[in-house]
Amino acid sequence: MPPLLLHLLLLHFFTYNSRLCFSSPQPKTLILPLKTQTLPKPSNKLSFHHNVTLTISLTVGLPPQNVTMVLDTGSELSWLHCKKTPILTNVFNPLASKSYIPVSCSTPTCRTRTRDLSIPVSCDPKKLCHATLSYADASSLEGNLASDTFFLGSSGQPGTVFGCMDSGFSSNSEEDAKTTGLLGMNRGSLSFITQMGYPKFSYCISGRDASGVLLFGQASFPWLGPLNYTPLVQMSNPLPYFDRVAYTVQLEGIRVGGKVLSLPKSVFVPDHTGAGQTMVDSGTQFTFLLGSVYTALRNEFVLQTKPGLKLLDDPNFVFQGAMDLCFQVPMDRLNRPVLPALPAVTLMFRGAEMSVMGERLLYRVAGMVRGSNQVYCFTFGNSDLLGIEAFVIGHYHQQNVWMEFDLEKSRVGVAQVRCDLASQRLGLGP
CA distances from 70 to 3, 33, 81, 114, 283 (A): 10, 15, 12, 21, 8
**Facing residues of 150 across strands?**
60, 157
Cα gap 36→207, rounded to integer Å: 7
**Residue 271 is among the residues annotated as catalytic for this protein:** no
- Judge contact between 91 and 173, C-beta under 8 A: no
Name which of 182, 196, 162, 151 is nearest 61 in CA terms: 151
Please write down the HEC assignment for all residues of 16-47. CCCCCCCCCCCCCCEEEEEEECECCCCCCCCC
DSSP letters for 220-237: --TTT-PPEEEEPPP-SS
d(CA 246, CA 277): 10
Report the alpha-carbon distance of residue 338 to residue 156 in Å, rounded: 49
The DSSP bridge pattern shows strands 390-393 and 277-280 to be parallel
Spatial CA neighbour of 145 closest among 90, 195, 85, 73: 195
Query: Catalytic annotation on 72?
Result: yes
CB-based contacts of 257, cutoff 8 Å, min separation 6: 304, 343, 344
Distance CA 276, CA 267 (A): 8
The helices-and-strands tally (H runs, E runs) of the chain is 6, 29
Given the residues 72, 116, 324, 406, the one annotated as active site: 72
Active-site option among 116, 243, 281, 406: 281
Active site residues per annotation: 72, 281
